[in-house]
Amino acid sequence: MEALAGFANGMVVALQPLHLALMIVGVLVGVIAGALPGISFVNAMAISLPFTYLMSPLVAMVFLGGIYVGGVFGGSISSLLVNIPGDPDSLPSCWDGYPITLRDGPERSLSIAITASAIGGLFSAFLLSFASPPFARLALSFDQPEFFAATFMGLVSVLSISKGNLLLSLLSLFLGVAIGSIGTDPLYGVTRLTFGIGLLDNGIDFVVVMIGLFAIGEVIDALASRQGYDFNVKRKGAMKVLGLRDIWKLRGSISRGTGVGSVIGIIPGAGAAVGALVAYGVERQVNRRRSEFGTGIEDGLAAPEASKNATTGTAMIPLLTLGIPGSAGAAIMLAALTLHGVQPGPLLYSKNPEMLYAIFASFTLANLFMVAISVLVARAFGMLMKTDPTVICAFIVVFSVVGAFGVRNNIADVYICLGFGIAGFYMKRFGFPTAPLVLGVILGPLAESYFLTSMANYHDDLSIFFTRPRSGALMALAFGFIFWALAPELRAVWRRVRG
Amino acid sequence: MDRQIRVRIACTIALLAAACASAQAQERKYPSRPVDMIVNFGPGGGADQLGRIMSKLLEPVLGVPVPVSNIAGASGNAGLSKVLGSTPDGYTLGTLTGLSVSAWAGGLGKLQIRDFAFIAVVQSSPSMLFVPNDSRILDYRRMLDAAKANPGKLRVATAGYGTLDDIAVKFLATKGFPMVNVPFAKPGERYMSPLGGHSEILFEEPGDVVQFIDSKQYRPIVVFGARRHPAFPDTPASGEFGHDVDLPNWRAIVAAAKVPADTLAALNAAVAKALDSPDWRKFCGETYTCIERKSPEESRQFAQRNYDDVSKFMKDYGMIK
Amino acid sequence: MKRPAVTELARLGFPLAVAGGAWLVANRHLAPGVDVEAIKRGIAGPTTWPEVILYCVAACACAMFVRMLFGVIAGARAAEQPQAENDGYDETRLAAGIALLICYGYAISAIGFAWATLLFLLAWMVLGGVRRPVAIVLTSAIGTTALLYLFVKVSSMPLDRGKGVFEQATVALYRVLGIY
């Protein structure tokens, strides 16, 4: 009851004109930055940090929270309209989302995405508002073996995105993990696999790889393609929030996605991209129509969409209740708070609950406003796509370059991004799968550091991943998926051997 | 159509030429354009706080914007390389931390103290051991007893191998108190581990865990060094137990060594002014990092001494050859 | 009939090359000059992870090779076929585009982001076959200016200003535009 009253008071504060206005500006900035291929919302948040000096801590949080919520969705707009993920977390949305766009028009795919994201985000915001303390306890009960097991689940989901050729997908995944391990290792500080090239010392960030493979690669394809290229997809109907009947049809995937995302959000270092990937993988394993995934199955779009926005609220829980940032976005909010001399953590609850509840309420509102703002931005984006594709491509290249640079303000990342762009084009041309590679680059470094720390913490006992209950359950699930996915292949081999 | 373009191009060139001329004229006074502040770690950490506060305080003094950019990677070396790689004209400053210098001592990268002009070492923080508030380890004495009774049972959450944290753990092992170093890739994970009961002890500087100290989630049990820290009068110094190991993490504002002397002087004066401001006093007080004012030369010597100390420890403990 | 045979051989060469490459890197280039065994704690050292992964790469590639050789699984061949032999790309334009991207990357550090972007936009549009010169020049100039305001003025990103005389030219341009 106390929480409800606090939330109501928070809502009053969040609805004050200044707070509301900056939240809306934040969501708008986030959606646009997310939608621009190359520019990620984390970029936008880091860039906005100096502007928050001028604001009160609450306003700063409301503003950054808006960018965060909007940005996590925004990437899907370009995923669905032009098949180029605007942000890493929108990559899985391309796989079933873009086929829906082609078949039923962008209105349908965008409607599903926006609705699923908003439901996931709202649920997560409610968890943040009313279930922070138990979730914080849950977060603390997880240790490195659990993180490793969750990451392993994510890696296993590659089996679900392989289209026919499992070995080739596995090869691509392992190559991705190897690429992710280039550079200085996380615990010893030894540089590896750099071949003496100094530019590689800092390693290869997955955002840079993704921008290269998908944005630059696509642009090269468009330029060299003979039959002409058009980013302008035909509209078929109007964009709207899904009706209850449609939502009911997608209830399974949306609730699974929301659940997966809510839990992954509290894992430090994981975030929206991992949430979306794991949700897609899980959906692909448990959905009734799993064999048709990749051809435009609506559940295959709804699950990752719900999941990635469901990470936003719960990622704030460790930050606000414990003072521990759960994602790159949350780390920037921590920076904003500490700059104002506000120390997040349990003290915030006792000392300044009004501010906390205002942040909760604002997060909830941001998920609602995200719907309207996304529709507007998607419209504008659709309009922009009517210009000459050559001009669009030219600007996509520049945005990609700036985005790659902005990841760490490092020119090496621009070279790496362009390199992966060229490689990406040829991979696409020769039918080498790119998605598992990106998955490997995203999850590989996480898996390595979780593994090494687990080993250090548990006296080099490899069985720890299976004997700790939560981690063991996750591992069992992962191995179940592996056998499930391999079954048809094994059966074929068996038949062959016998016959 | 063609003529139109030609006229336009001619206009542009003329404009640029004029601009160049005026730019040349303006270039004499320093600073006449924004000064970049490069933070060699990501947003949210101690170096980031320093860079951003310093930028805020320097802007009114220098009269130009001082935009902050985070260039993280390779234990801070990536950002420092950027400082060295830019034109040495005083328009690029950087943060340098003891963390990076110990990484150099450990053999990472090719950067050296003498590559940098030290504007000032502005912060120095002691290293401490913390335990969760409800831990059964009541104090340092009991921690040592437990370590001795169960060799390799106590786990210390640290920032990695080959770091100050690692030196501390190895130092205690040589004194007969073996504990396990559990390195974490991200600070957030490190803070969670002892809180969740997955390890027992946290190695950290107090400024980075203020929120946990204030909210009574962590309590300090020892400060490494000869003397107690004024902000923690009840926390014993390791020196009181005969453990003479001082592992400060310090932070400095630096530029490339080749920056002209008069520009450096201007920067020194500006930073000195910033350090006098009440905002700075408040900041360093809250992060337990206030130190006496150091001149550029003193700063350089301080850094060099720290490098030598760390190298010696690493050699003693076989971490480097 | 000859071509398919040649491409078939070339395709068999791909997994072999990957396997060989991975093996070589795992054995020679993990972390040359670092005594990994000396600094390793416990079972996992700094190079353990990449080493294991590279062997996984090699194993996968070998398995692929074997499967391609024997065609163990019927029907898998079709999935492995590259999309088309002549897949409708304009090779000259492709080469020019790739060259242009590489030049752009190099130019950003050499002559600075501002000038490099202006030149890149001009060149890309010419290459892409935009016909009207006025449109090209205007789009590039206005586009570059807008991007500079957005990224340098508003976002104050430390984008490269170029080396030597180009740095002065960039600073001069920023002054004209009122960014500095």
pLDDT tens track for B71-93: 887 778 888 988 988 888 889 99
Nearest to C155 among A47, A175, A414 (CB): A47
pLDDT of residue C73: 43
Are A187 and A453 spatial neighbours (Cβ–Cβ below 8 Å)? yes
ipTM of the complex: 0.90
Distance from CA of C49 to the nearest CA of A (A): 6
Mutation target for A interface from C23, C48, C69, C89: give the one with most A CBs within 10 A: C89
The verdict on B189 touching A (C-beta cutoff 8 Å) is yes
CATH 1.10.3720.10 is right for the domain spanning B36-125+248-316: no
- List chain C residues with CB under 8 Å of B82: 158
In this structure, what token pair is assigned to residue B146?
């437990």
User: What is the pairing mode between strands A191-192 and A183-184?
Assistant: antiparallel
A308 to each of A279, A357, A436, B36, C97, how far by Cα in Å?
9, 23, 18, 35, 35
Q: A284: closest CA among A439, A83, A433, A481?
A: A481
Mutation target for C interface from B9, B13, B20: give the one with most C CBs within 10 A: B20
Domain boundaries of chain C, sorted by first residue:
2-80, 91-177
In this structure, what token pair is assigned to residue B291?
């130190």
Distance from CA of B124 to the nearest CA of A (A): 18
- List chain A residues with CB under 8 Å of C12: none
Q: What is the pLDDT of residues A450-498, one digit of tens each?
A: 999 999 999 999 999 999 999 999 999 899 888 887 787 778 778 878 8
Going residue by residue through chain A (499 aa), what tens digit of pLDDT does each one get? 678 899 999 999 999 999 999 999 999 999 999 999 888 888 899 888 888 888 899 999 999 999 999 999 999 999 999 899 988 899 999 999 999 999 988 889 999 999 999 999 999 999 999 998 888 888 889 899 999 998 998 888 877 777 668 888 999 999 999 999 998 888 888 889 988 887 888 889 888 999 999 999 999 999 988 776 777 776 666 666 677 888 889 999 999 999 999 999 888 777 888 899 889 988 988 888 888 888 899 999 999 999 999 999 999 998 888 888 877 888 889 888 888 878 887 778 778 888 999 999 999 999 999 999 999 999 898 888 888 889 999 999 999 999 999 888 889 999 999 999 999 999 988 889 998 999 899 899 999 999 999 999 999 999 999 999 999 999 998 998 888 877 877 787 788 788 7
Q: pTM (2 decimals)?
A: 0.90
Contact partners, residue A148, CB within 8 Å, separation at least 6: A447, A450, A451, A454, A465, A471
Distance from CA of B291 to the nearest CA of C (A): 31
Q: What is the pLDDT of residues B193-207, one digit of tens each?
A: 999 999 999 999 998
Distance from CA of A268 to the nearest CA of C (A): 21
CATH 3.40.190.150 placement within chain B: 36-125+248-316
Residue C118: CB atoms within 10 Å: 20
Q: What is the pLDDT of residues A210-250, one digit of tens each?
A: 999 999 999 999 998 877 677 777 666 666 667 788 888 99
Is the Cβ pair B69, C175 closer than 8 Å? no
- List chain A residues with CB under 8 Å of B102: none
Fold of B128-241: D-Maltodextrin-Binding Protein; domain 2 (3.40.190)
- List chain A residues with CB under 8 Å of C81: 431
Is the Cβ pair B319, C39 closer than 8 Å? yes
- List chain C residues with CB under 8 Å of A192: 30-31, 46-47, 50
Three-state secondary-structure class, residue B96: strand
Nearest-Cα residue of chain A relative to residue C137? A391
- List chain C residues with CB under 8 Å of A390: 124-125, 128-130
pLDDT of residue C74: 47
Is the Cβ pair C156, B319 closer than 8 Å? no
Mean of per-residue pLDDT scores for chain A: 89
Residue type, A311: T
Q: What is the pLDDT of residues C62-108, one digit of tens each?
A: 988 888 887 644 444 444 444 445 568 889 999 999 999 999 999 99
Nearest-Cα residue of chain C relative to residue A39? C151
Nearest to B15 among C41, C137, C176 (CB): C176
Nearest to A332 among B43, B53, B68 (CB): B43
Is the Cβ pair B67, C158 closer than 8 Å? yes
Q: Is the pLDDT reported for residue B140 higher than 80?
A: yes
Nearest to A165 among C80, C98, C130 (CB): C80
